[in-house]
Amino acid sequence: MPTYRLPAYRAVLFDFFGTLTCATRRGDRHAAVAALLGCGVDVLAEVLDRSFYLRATGALGDATATLRWVCAQVGARPSDADLRAAVAARVEAVRADTRLRPEAVTVLRALRRRGVRVALVSDCTHELPAFLPQLPVAPLLDVRVLSVQVGCCKPDPAIYLAACHRLDVPPEDCLYVGDGGSQELTGAARTGMTAIRLAAADLHGHLVFNQDRGWVGPALASLSEVPGLLDVPELPDVPGPGRARSEPAGSLPVAGGAGCGV
């Protein structure tokens, strides 16, 4: 029987927008949301931008209550039917803006074949939980920690530790991969994780909040480089996760990076 080296990391935690997905920008479908609410699309975008973290913690209530609050900010008074339709339209708009990176599914499968657990840790509003189960990455995620469900955003240590608790893996055995929004890399490093920035070329102009501009740590140019960091071969049939940490990770390249967004 061949002897395989154990992975240096027992789990890899991924950001979603700008990491598992291509760069995020608001598309044309947001105009339909604004029309249903009875306001201009630019006015709506301004309120969404300045209220992101308030909305992403779930502090304003469910999706309908949150959008009702947004209406109050823009001075709109839609009917109950139009408000319900706007909630659905917003899910469709954010879904339309979401394009998984072509290599995302392949990368997650490769990690699982290496016996490594996979978690999603995302700052997001109510829309992502509504359509995430339909995405092809969903069945490849062992754990999903979404800010709107746990009540805190990155870089709060609680959101990273929630993932560790659900994975049953300590922070020091985790690799965190993100594009740098919400100061996520700094936050992950402070909890004891190894943090690495995805500096993909498409992230220029990416919708991002509270970017980790001071990050000078390691970076990757492509998501497809992540499995190679583990320096362990893929196996056709791998026992369940939970193997112990052994050797330290290989050296990580340093490169420029972009932001992260939702």
Tally Cβ neighbours within 10 Å of residue 99: 12
Flag whether pLDDT at 236 surpasses 90.
Answer: no
Q: Is 75 helix (H, G, I), strand (E, B) or coil?
A: coil
Beta strands per DSSP E along 70-180: 117-122, 143-146, 174-178
* Mean residue pLDDT across the chain: 87
* Domain residue spans of the chain: 11-24+98-230, 30-97
- Does domain 11-24+98-230 correspond to CATH entry 3.40.50.1000? yes
pLDDT for residue 239? 38
Tally Cβ neighbours within 10 Å of residue 236: 5
pTM, entire model: 0.86
Q: For residues 12 and 174, is the Cβ–Cβ distance under 8 A? A: yes
Q: Is 159 helix (H, G, I), strand (E, B) or coil?
A: helix
Number of residues that make up the chain:
262
What φ, ψ does residue 12 adopt, rounded to 5°?
-120, 125
Comparing CA positions, the residue from 9, 14, 48 lying closest to residue 179 is 14
The residues with which 12 forms a beta bridge, in sequence order, are: 118, 175
Q: How confident is the model at residue 52 (pLDDT cuts 50, 70, 90)?
A: very high
pLDDT in tens, 56-100: 999 999 999 999 999 999 999 999 999 999 999 999 999 999 999
Q: Which residues contact 111 (CB under 8 A, 6 or more apart)?
A: 12, 118, 226, 227, 230
Flag whether pLDDT at 250 surpasses 80.
Answer: no
Q: For residues 121 and 17, is the Cβ–Cβ distance under 8 A? A: no
Amino acid residing at 49: D
